[in-house]
Structure 1
Amino acid sequence: MTFNIETERLILRELRLSDLEGMFELDSDPEVHKYLGNKPVKTRKESQKILERVINQYEERGIGRWAIINKDTQEFMGWSGLKLNIEYTMNGFAEFYDVGYRIIKRFWGQGYATESGKAAVDYAFKVLKLPELYGITEMGNEASHNVLLKIGLKYVEDFYYEEEKLKLRWYKIENK
């Protein structure tokens, strides 16, 4: 799958095995994983498996998270985009599309999650013609809560995700 969306400051493209160093920087940081069950990766091999899983999703599901690339510097900044979740049941849903993002800490607080998230919602509704899209954050993650609201999702409810022992928040936006 070749994929490319440009926003004002970003290029959103398919994740590649060449993104390994950036993925490792992202997912080995305990602060990035603070609201993700705090399970950072410890090796590049783990990051490579994550990349391979997403690349597989492109082929099997036609969609997966995208690399966030800074237009000016060409730096890998994290990932954003859509995922068709079929691996696990979440808040009573066994199959749903969600919007998500994960950004390397040195790029936090600069609006990149919001910018890439808006592009993902736009793609979900204008290109994929999805009827709705969901978002999930861990309770206490106010930054992600605010991003989801800024990109148009509405808070629905809190729930407990037994598998990971996490208290989460559920969000939704409908294609109108």
Structure 2
Amino acid sequence: MQLETERLILRKFEENDTERMFLLDSNPEVMKYIGIPPVNDIKESENIIKMIRQQYTDNGIGRLAVIEKESGLLIGWSGLKLLTQPINGYTHVYDLGYRFLPEFWGKGYAIESAKASLDFGFNELNADIIYAHAHSQNEGSNHILKKLGFEKTGEFTEPDGICFWYELVNTNYTSITKHE
């Protein structure tokens, strides 16, 4: 599976993505609102990629590596995954997520990649609702979710604080691929 936008390619993770994934996972700014500490061993990033690749096999979907077309670099990840462990009491639902290296923040990449994933979720997976969550203090992520049309429908507590729970219903989503 591969998705493409004007500036980005979203593709399945490959084993050779480990070094760039480690840059992401070991960055304290990136991991600030995730609820887990930054990784300090590249083997941990290798294992994360193996876990995501297993999700492709087990669930038919998982987060995708985001490649900036201009540089050819992996700049983060984005996309849908099937929740197999409960989050806020929900399982077996599609969850949108994204994470980018700080030097790529503020360029609209999270929204651009998320729109491609939402189009895929609603148009290809025929999802009725796609969910997302963000730490209450993560202003950037909460802003992005609202801009995408997600509606905050609840809150739940994680060990690192309160998270907001969001839902986007297919009928409330304006696809970027629909032509008028």
TM-score (norm. length: structure 2): 0.92
TM-superposed CA distance for 1:118, in Å, is 0.8
Deviation sequence 1:105-161 (CA, Å, 0-9, x none) = 111111100100111111100010011100000011110001111222111122213
- Match for residue 160 of structure 1? 157
TM-superposed CA distance for 1:73, in Å, is 1.3
Q: Distance in 1 between matches of 2:107 and 2:70?
A: 15
Q: Distance in 2 between matches of 1:111 and 1:131?
A: 25
- Match for residue 61 of structure 1? 59
Maintained 8 Å contact 1:30/1:38: no
- Match for residue 30 of structure 1? 28
Partner SS state of residue 87, structure 2:
coil
Query: 2:76 is matched with which residue: 78, 85, 94?
Result: 78
**Stretch moving more, 151-160 or 120-129:** 151-160
Is residue 160 of structure 2 the alignment partner of residue 133 of structure 1? no
Maintained 8 Å contact 2:83/2:90: no
Query: 2:119 is matched with which residue: 115, 122, 138?
Result: 122
Q: Distance in 1 between matches of 2:160 and 2:100?
A: 23
TM-superposed CA distance for 1:166, in Å, is 2.9
RMSD value over aligned CA atoms?
1.0
Partner SS state of residue 33, structure 2:
coil
TM-superposed CA distance for 1:94, in Å, is 2.7
Q: Distance in 2 between matches of 1:96 and 1:129?
A: 12
Is residue 92 of structure 2 the alignment partner of residue 95 of structure 1? yes
Q: Distance in 1 between matches of 2:76 and 2:87?
A: 24
- Match for residue 39 of structure 2? 41
Q: Distance in 2 between matches of 1:121 and 1:64?
A: 13
- Match for residue 167 of structure 2? 172
Maintained 8 Å contact 2:79/2:97: yes
Stretches (4+) displaced over 3 A: none
TM-superposed CA distance for 1:165, in Å, is 4.3
Q: What are the ranges of 5 or more consecutive residues in structure 1 without an aligned counterpart?
A: none
Q: Which amino acid in the other structure matches residue 33 of structure 1?
A: M
Partner SS state of residue 170, structure 1:
strand
Q: Which amino acid in the other structure matches residue 4 of structure 1?
A: Q
Q: How many residues align?
A: 171
Q: Distance in 1 between matches of 2:28 and 2:52?
A: 21
